Amino acid sequence: MSRAVAVRVLLLLGDQAEIVADVPPEERTEPARYPAAEVAEAAGVPVETLAGRRLIADAGDDDRLSGWRLA
């Protein structure tokens, strides 16, 4: 079963987007990396505009994110 989580794209590193939970910095864990093109396509935005965006994603049982959409 998946659950919706708020996330933020910290930055782009090459073709990867570094993503963290959209929580106060002291509550964050290490960023996870996802293919920037995949995230951008799902959210309906250009890749170059991803950095700094707030998104909603679906977290699966394994905590992998998918189903990216604008927050």
Q: How far is CA 2 from CA 23, 57, 59, 62, 66, in A?
A: 19, 9, 5, 9, 9
Please give the helix or strand (H or E) that residue 51 lies within, else none. Answer: none
Residue 14: closest CA among 51, 41, 43, 44: 51
Residue 22: closest CA among 52, 62, 63: 52
**pTM, 2 dp:** 0.89
What are the tens digits of pLDDT across the range 3-49?
Answer: 899 999 999 999 999 999 888 888 878 899 999 999 999 999 999 99
Asked if 19 and 28 count as a contact pair (C-beta separation under 8 A), the reply is no
Asked if 69 and 43 count as a contact pair (C-beta separation under 8 A), the reply is yes
